[in-house]
Amino acid sequence: MASIFSRIVSGEIPAAKVYEDDLTLAFMDIAPASRGHTLVICKTEYPQLLDLPPDVVAAMAQTVQRVARALMATLQPDGFNVLQNNGAAAGQTVFHYHVHIIPRWQDDKALGLWQPGESDPATLPELAAQIRANLQ
């Protein structure tokens, strides 16, 4: 079954479109974290970041930047978050790759930030080496 975002791309479900090109679509979130909260999706249904071909990754990044600039110029927020979740454990609920652009104003409490943890500096080089070994 097609995702809700694929149904938006096909026109089956309406959306307040902000931007569209051959590979991407940006539209207003119907359950926004803040005023101006916009979603950017790839038109082809890929579940998550690791599934995207390089040209779609590039197109998504360009659209996110373009829309973020427009949001900043229009709403003049104090900042913005770019949020993207991969997998249910990370909070992904629609398994069609998408990026949230959330305008932020000082003390708006739109999103909670994580609490920084602690690391053992002696273990970081070994972990970095393990990750490097898996780079493709």
Residue 122 — φ and ψ, nearest 5°?
Answer: -70, -25
Tokens of 127: 């972990």
Rounded CA-CA distance 106/30 in Å is 23
Q: Which residues of 33-43 are buried (b: 16+ CB within 10 A; e: fewer)?
A: bbebbbbbbbb
| Residue 98 is among the residues annotated as catalytic for this protein | yes
Catalytic residue among 37, 96, 98, 100: 98
Tokens of 71: 């949001």
Tokens of 31: 């359950």
Nearest to 80 by CA among 48, 115, 111: 111
- Residues with a catalytic annotation lie at 98
